[in-house]
Structure formats: C-alpha cells, structure tokens
C-alpha cells in the first residue's frame, strides 16, 4: 500500500546527441554497430517472462545489405498467441493491484537504461534492422522513446491527480482502473519509439499486454524487451510474439477478454481490425477501446510570400529524412508559380549534396527503404511517372537493389493535381509537386484539403500573417499536426502531441494524457458522511 501522494521526477526532453565526426559518441556508436553486425543473434518470443523458441527460424534482413546474415528469430503460431493471452490474464490482478509508483518506476528505470548503458545498443539495432542514419536513430530509438517513457509517467500522475469536487457532507473520488481483460499492441516497422511506447504505456496503467511487433523491427524490439526485463517488468505483463499479423488479429479479436487495441500502421490493416471488432462485438465482456494511428499523405503549401530556401529545406528534410518512411513525411507540395524557380534551384543545390548508402557511414543522409516490397512500390511510382503525360521526374529517379533496397530521393513534378503520386501514400523517398498560379492561393487550399482521405500532418510556409490565418482555417480538418514555417515531421513528445484524424487514425495523440485516458476505465466513488434517514424533501416537512 502507498502511504503518500507521490510526485514523480521532473521531466525534460532527453537531449539529442550531436555525434560530431571524430567524437567518442559517434565512434562508440559505430563500433557497436559493427560488433552487432558481425554477431549472429537468435531472437526468441517472450511469453510469461520465458524465452520461447520454435522449429521455424526466420532470417533477419538488413535493408542496406539483404544478403547479410546477422541472425534469425523464432516464428510462433496460434498456440503461442493463446499461451500469451492466458499468461497475461493470469498476471493481470497482481499487476493491476500493484501501487502505481512501483509500476511506473520500472519504466523510469527503463528510460535511464536506454539513456545510458543501452543507448548505443538500441540505436545500432535500429540502424541495422531499420536502416536509419545516426541522427534519425538518435531522435527515435533513444530520445523519443526515452521521452515517451518519462513523460507518460508524469501524465499518469497528472491523470490520477484529477479528481472531482465534493459537495458538503460527501467525498467524491474517481479511480483509474486498468481495462478489464487484456490489451493488444500491434506496432509498425518505422519507429522503435512507437513500438516500445504502445505496449508500455498501457502496461504503466496496470494493463496486461499481448505485443506483436512488425517482423521488420524484431531486432530492436528484442532489445526493448531485454531492457524492460532488466528494469524489473514482472513475468506475463508484456508478452511479445512473432506471429502472422492477420492470423493473430483474427484470434485475438474474437477473445471474450479482449479489452483494447493499440495500433500504429497502415490504414488498410487498421480498418480491417476495426471491422473484425465490430463483427465480434457481442462476444466481448466489455466494449474494447480502439486506438489507431495510421497512414498519411502529408502536405506542404507555400504562399507567394514564403522564403524559398525555407520551403526547399522543409521539403528536403520533410520528404527525404528516413527515406520518407515517416507517417508525417512531406509527400505532396503546392508551390506558387512565382516562387517555383527559386524553390527548385535551392532544392537542387541541396539534393546534389545528399549521399546515399549504409548508415554505417554517418555521412550518408539517405539509407535503404525497408524491404523488397517497398523498393518495388517506389520503383513502380517512379517508372509510371517517367512515362506519364501528367508528370515528370525532375530529380532522382534511380533505384538500386544490387546490395540493399536503395531508392534515390525523387521529385515528381505533376501537371495534374490529382496525379496518383499526389494522392496516394507511397511511404518512400518520393515527393510530388504541383505548381499553382499565384492568384489561385485560396482555391489551392481547398485542393489541399480535398485531395486525400488522410489528415495527419501538414505545413504552410508564408511571411504573410493573413495568408497564414486563411490556411489555418481552411485546413482545420486536413491535419492533426499543423506546422507554420516548418517541415511537417519531427514531433517531440511533450511539445507537439502527435496524431491525425480522417483516414489517418483516431487522433488520440501518442505520448499524451489524451492517449493514456483510453487505457483506463474510470470508477466514481461517492461517500456520504451523514446519510438521510427519511425520504421526505425538506419542504414536505
Ligand atoms: N500515424 C502514425 O502515428 C503512424 C506512425 C508510424 C507509422 N504509421 C503508418 O504505418 C505504415 C507503415 O508501417 P507498417 O508497414 O509497419 O504498417 P503495416 O500496417 O503493414 O503493419 C503494422 C503492423 O500490423 C501488422 N499486420 C499486418 N497485416 C495485418 C493484418 N492483416 N491484421 C493485423 N495485423 C497486421 C504488421 O505485422 C505490423 O505489426 C504507414 O502507413 C504509416 O503511415 C503511422
Ligand atoms: N512522430 C513522428 C512520426 C511518426 C510516424 O511515423 C514525426 O513527427 O515525424
């Protein structure tokens, strides 16, 4: 039992290391990378705190060198999903009853382990398995993940402290119960931080979790589990399985104790899971919570008053960092005719200097896309643009899969505002641009709003305050994260709560109190100190 109302340590964003060339920071990280690259790792599932191995070994692949063998993971089947659910349910009561300070302390400790002794390891794993350069890895696997863990602890405290008022003669309280049943975290390949946050934020609140990471992120997911275990996470609280996504969802989503889905990934997969939940709704003991952050077709619109270099830089970084594989990546841009030449030459000057290759060489700004499917998808958009009458490839356009899945940063100039690459999520280093007549600024805002079903991130560049205000209003529902004179990527926990609406998700804002509220079921308690002894109202005598 807790015998105090505790504060938690003051939370600040984890400082981003700069990894200057020749510094010990970068040397240590690269030597960890090389060591891990040459080891042969064996990754088991973790169910009830035990390592689970099977007869099915799947070779791990690095996007920058698909032939390189650095180990394998053990693939599970539906018997493992059953076992994980049963284990989670058996662990639930004890975990839910543990004082909250004890629970969150595990995750504060995990944050310190990632910030210190495990920083190079989680960063190097993300570089090898997901092909992120040093900076992209640092802002994801280290800083964003550490921020998620620490800020969520502060948000839990704030949430628990929110209590109702009490009228005379009574005491009203609310308590934030974990969901009744087990929760299901399904995570994407592209952010180690998201992968760790989805199961851990639910667990922090006393929930038990079945976690299915993407098979493209298992190398870093394994280190997340290793650190959670070292930080003291009890057996059965988070169970990590490597099973087929579709089959797993079918099994989990018909279980009577399924209580919540925390998903990040593509819109199509999320919608298929929501549909299954709807079909199974009569089977559940409680209405499940559904949170999904999904796809995007994120825009940049420049006003004629914008600084062309700022627009060009926003596009180069927004579209091509991490090979455009951020749900927030700038993937369509609307540039006024009067600004186009200046934006184009600034982009050209910057793109010419970009180096492409393995993250092992920190001077490579662009690395490989995640896998063959993604490579082929990008190549398809590029090939079609090359032969289209409505579009032309004005930068990049080369693809090389001889060693890794490398796609050159590519800019498509479209003359048709509804050309396919302007409307569809590609999730690769391809930016599509539409040049509009300056006098069509207001019409173009409408076009931006109506072109795609998504509404995740977007940016306006302008030096004209009236134009900013107009864009701000016209695009109110077009982006859950709206940027003014900045790229549409790089949200920081605690500073820009992240998420989008329309086809981009439920907009529950990852890494915020709004998200945590979805994983509790509030119980209200009213205690009356001097209960009435007679039914009569005072005026009835
Ligand atoms: N909005 C956000 O915050 C956000 C953040 C990151 C990524 N994303 C989106 O994620 C996508 C890229 O990630 P991805 O390629 O890993 O996504 P994905 O949808 O292919 O996979 C996500 C997860 O779902 C699982 N899965 C695949 N098919 C399934 C099925 N039929 N049923 C149940 N689970 C299934 C995968 O194994 C993986 O664990 C992009 O669309 C991107 O925009 C969104
Ligand atoms: N939070 C990240 C995006 C995560 C999606 O992939 C950003 O703001 O760039």
Residues 498-525 have pLDDT tens digits of 999 999 999 999 989 999 999 999 999 9
Angle between helices 78-97 and 245-252 (to 10 degrees): 50
Mutation pick for ligand 2 pocket among 193, 454, 489 (CB with most ligand atoms within 8 Å): 489
Above 60 in pLDDT, residue 447? Answer: yes
Tell me the β-bridge partners of 185: 211, 262
Above 90 in pLDDT, residue 314? Answer: yes
Q: What pLDDT sits at residue 541?
A: 81
Pull the structure tokens for residue 420: 């396919």
- Cα(400) to ligand 2 centroid in Å equals 26
Active site residue 293: yes
What proportion of the chain, given as a percentage, has pLDDT over 70? 100
Domain 42-294+505-525 has CATH 3.40.605.10: yes
For residues 474, 476, 477, 483, the Cα torsion angle rounded to the nearest 10 degrees is: 110
Q: What pLDDT sits at residue 81?
A: 99
pTM: 0.98
- Residues 460, 462, 464, CA angle at the centre, nearest 5°? 130
Residue 281 and residue 112 in contact, taking contact as beta carbons nearer than 8 Å: no
Kindly report the number of other CB atoms within 10 A of residue 415's CB atom.
Answer: 12
The one catalytic residue among 83, 154, 321, 327: 327
pLDDT class of 2 with cuts at 50, 70, 90: confident
Q: Do domains 42-294+505-525 and 298-484 have the same CATH topology?
A: no
Above 60 in pLDDT, residue 438? Answer: yes
Pocket around ligand 2: residues whose beta carbon is below 6 Å from it? 190-191, 326-328, 489-491, 498
Q: Which of 328, 300, 317 lies closest to 461 in space, CA to CA?
A: 300
Above 60 in pLDDT, residue 224? Answer: yes
Residue 91 and residue 234 in contact, taking contact as beta carbons nearer than 8 Å: yes
What proportion of the chain, given as a percentage, has pLDDT over 90? 99
In the chain, where are the structural domains located?
42-294+505-525, 298-484
Determine the Cα–Cα distance for residues 280 and 445; give it in Å rounded to an integer: 41
Nearest ligand 1 atom to alpha carbon 296: 43
Residue 448, C-beta contacts closer than 8 angstroms, at least 6 positions apart: 299, 301, 334, 458, 474, 475, 478
Q: What pLDDT sits at residue 284?
A: 98
Nearest ligand 2 atom to alpha carbon 188: 6
Residue pLDDT, tens place only, 467-498: 999 999 999 999 999 999 999 999 999 999 99
Determine the Cα–Cα distance for residues 172 and 188; give it in Å rounded to an integer: 41
Tell me the β-bridge partners of 42: 72
Pocket around ligand 1: residues whose beta carbon is below 6 Å from it? 186-191, 194, 212-214, 245-246, 249, 264-266, 269, 272-273, 293-296, 327, 425, 427, 456, 504-505
Q: Which ligand is nearest to the CA of 456?
A: 1
Cα separation of the two ends of the chain:
46
The mean predicted confidence, pLDDT, of the chain is 98
Q: What pLDDT sits at residue 1?
A: 52
Residue pLDDT, tens place only, 58-114: 999 999 999 999 999 999 999 999 999 999 999 999 999 999 999 999 999 999 999
- Cα(188) to ligand 1 centroid in Å equals 5
Cα Dmax for the chain: 92
Mutation pick for ligand 1 pocket among 269, 326, 512 (CB with most ligand atoms within 8 Å): 269
Determine the Cα–Cα distance for residues 378 and 420; give it in Å rounded to an integer: 12
Top pLDDT among 64 and 1 is at: 64
Above 70 in pLDDT, residue 219? Answer: yes
- The ipTM of this complex is 0.98
Nearest ligand 1 atom to alpha carbon 191: 6
CATH topology classification for 298-484: Aldehyde Dehydrogenase; Chain A, domain 2 (3.40.309)
Above 80 in pLDDT, residue 181? Answer: yes
Q: What's the alpha-carbon Rg for the chain, to the nearest Å?
A: 25
Q: How many CA atoms lie within 13 A of 418 on its CB side?
A: 5
Mutation pick for ligand 2 pocket among 194, 319, 369 (CB with most ligand atoms within 8 Å): 194
Q: What is the mean pLDDT of residues 269-285?
A: 98
């Amino acid at each position: 039992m807790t015998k105090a109302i505790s504060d938690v340590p003051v939370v600040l964003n984890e400082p981003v290391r700069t990894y200057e060339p020749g510094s010990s920071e970068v040397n240590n990280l690269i030597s960890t990378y090389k060591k891990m690259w040459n080891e042969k790792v064996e990754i088991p599932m973790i169910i009830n705190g035990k390592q689970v191995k099977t007869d099915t070994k799947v070779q791990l692949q690095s996007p920058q060198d698909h032939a390189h063998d650095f180990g394998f993971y053990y693939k599970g089947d539906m018997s493992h999903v059953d076992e994980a659910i049963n284990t989670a349910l058996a662990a639930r009561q004890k975990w839910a009853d543990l004082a909250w300070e004890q629970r969150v302390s595990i995750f504060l400790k995990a944050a310190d382990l990632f910030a210190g002794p495990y920083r190079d390891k989680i960063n190097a794993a993300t570089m090898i398995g997901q092909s992120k350069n040093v900076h992209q890895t640092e802002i994801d696997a280290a800083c964003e993940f550490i921020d998620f863990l620490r800020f969520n602890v502060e948000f839990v405290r704030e949430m628990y402290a929110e209590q109702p008022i009490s009228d005379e003669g009574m005491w009203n309280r609310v308590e934030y119960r974990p969901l009744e049943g087990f929760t299901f975290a399904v995570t994407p390949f592209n952010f180690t931080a998201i992968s760790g946050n989805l199961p851990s934020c639910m667990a922090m609140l006393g929930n038990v979790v079945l976690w299915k990471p993407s098979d493209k992120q298992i190398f870093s997911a394994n280190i997340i589990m290793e650190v959670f275990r070292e930080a003291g996470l009890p057996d059965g609280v988070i169970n990590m399985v490597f099973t087929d996504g579709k089959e797993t969802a079918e099994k989990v989503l018909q279980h009577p104790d399924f209580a919540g889905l925390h998903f990040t990934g593509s819109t199509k997969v999320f919608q298929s899971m929501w549909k299954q939940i709807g079909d199974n709704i009569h089977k559940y003991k409680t209405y499940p919570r559904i949170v999904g952050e999904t796809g995007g077709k994120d825009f940049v619109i420049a006003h004629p008053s914008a600084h062309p270099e700022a627009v060009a830089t926003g596009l180069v970084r927004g579209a091509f960092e991490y090979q455009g594989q951020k749900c927030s990546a700038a993937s369509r841009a609307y540039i006024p005719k009067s600004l186009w030449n200046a934006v184009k030459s600034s982009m050209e000057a910057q793109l010419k200097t970009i180096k492409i290759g393995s993250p092992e060489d920190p001077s490579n700004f662009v690395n490989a896309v995640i896998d063959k499917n993604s490579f082929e998808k990008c190549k398809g958009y590029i090939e079609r643009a090359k032969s289209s009458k409505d579009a032309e490839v004005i930068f990049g356009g080369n693809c090389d899969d001889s060693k890794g899945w490398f796609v050159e940063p590519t800019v498509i100039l479209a003359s048709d505002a509804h050309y396919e690459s302007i409307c569809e999520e590609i999730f690769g280093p391809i930016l599509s641009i539409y040049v509009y007549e300056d006098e069509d600024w207001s019409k173009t805002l409408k076009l931006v709003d109506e072109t795609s079903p998504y509404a995740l991130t977007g940016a306006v560049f302008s030096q004209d305050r009236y134009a900013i205000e107009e864009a701000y209003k016209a695009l109110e529902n077009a982006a859950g994260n709206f940027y003014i004179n900045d790229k549409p990527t790089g949200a920081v926990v605690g500073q820009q709560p992240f998420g989008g609406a329309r086809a981009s998700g439920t907009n529950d804002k990852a890494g915020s109190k709004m998200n945590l509220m979805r994983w509790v079921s509030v119980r209200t308690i009213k205690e009356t100190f001097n209960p009435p002894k007679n039914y009569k109202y005072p005026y009835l005598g």
